[in-house]
């Protein structure tokens, strides 16, 4: 039975090895991190910028704006950026941002806009539009600037055919 003894020795040796303790990884603490820079990196706004309000609104491939309300102050310079964050072409899912005068009926304007494809669905010579962006395809953006009109509540829409029913919101001038 010599072979049996040998076998037992081998098995014992294997067992001892596999029971060896695993060294736990020591966590190294970093105690000497450099102090954060305390110098202010805040950009001071010049007095000229105080009367400018910047608003970014997005439109997507699900025919949605990401906001339904904007608030500005009368006389402020309003800088609106519209970003089309979708991927679809403007012939299929175009978006614009159109601010309508008070008293303009959204449905009637939206229907009239359908016939104005040549001018990005903003009827040429209309007196019902205070400001509007270009019509955008997915991935594009456009920034416009205008002076906020008199205090009151105005409607903004996307005038691409059929979008005004969902893509609309209130532009509130205080």
List residues near Zn ion by CB under 5 A.
Answer: 95, 158, 160, 163, 167
* Least distance from Zn ion to the Cβ atom of residue 51, Å: 30
* Least distance from Zn ion to the Cβ atom of residue 62, Å: 10
Q: Measured from the CB atom, is 163 or 168 closer to Zn ion?
A: 163
Q: Measured from the CB atom, is 57 or 148 closer to Zn ion?
A: 57
* Least distance from Zn ion to the Cβ atom of residue 156, Å: 12
Q: Measured from the CB atom, is 12 or 56 closer to Zn ion?
A: 56
Q: How far apart are CA 137 and CA 87, in angstroms?
A: 7
Q: Measured from the CB atom, is 13 or 92 closer to Zn ion?
A: 92
For the chain, the straight-line distance linking the first and the last C-alpha, in angstroms and rounded, comes to 102
* Sheet of 52-59, strands arranged across: 52-59, 77-84, 141-147
Q: How far apart are CA 65 and CA 44, in angstroms?
A: 31
Closest CA to 154 of 168, 136, 133, 134: 168
- Residue 155's Cβ-side half-sphere holds a number of Cα atoms within 13 Å equal to 19
Q: How far apart are CA 77 and CA 62, in angstroms?
A: 30
* Least distance from Zn ion to the Cβ atom of residue 89, Å: 12
| 147: its two tokens | 């002076």
Q: Measured from the CB atom, is 40 or 62 closer to Zn ion?
A: 62
* Least distance from Zn ion to the Cβ atom of residue 68, Å: 14
Beta-strand relationship, 69-72 and 168-173: parallel
């Amino acid at each position: 039975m010599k072979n049996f003894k040998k076998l037992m020795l081998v098995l014992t040796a294997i067992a001892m090895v596999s029971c060896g303790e695993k060294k736990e990884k020591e966590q190294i603490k970093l105690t000497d991190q450099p102090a954060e820079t305390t110098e202010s990196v805040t950009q001071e706004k010049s007095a000229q910028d105080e009367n400018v309000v910047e608003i970014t609104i997005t439109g997507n491939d699900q025919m949605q704006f990401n906001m339904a309300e904007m608030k500005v102050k009368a006389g402020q310079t309003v800088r609106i950026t519209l970003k089309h964050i979708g991927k679809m072409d403007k012939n299929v899912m175009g978006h614009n941002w159109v601010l309508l005068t008070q008293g303009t009926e959204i449905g009637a304007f939206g229907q009239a806009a359908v016939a104005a494809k040549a001018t990005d669905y903003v009827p040429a010579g209309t007196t019902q539009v205070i400001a509007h962006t270009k019509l955008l395809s997915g991935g594009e953006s456009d920034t416009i600037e205008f002076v906020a009109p008199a205090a009151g509540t105005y409607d903004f829409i996307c005038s691409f055919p059929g979008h005004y029913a969902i893509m609309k919101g209130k532009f509130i001038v205080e």
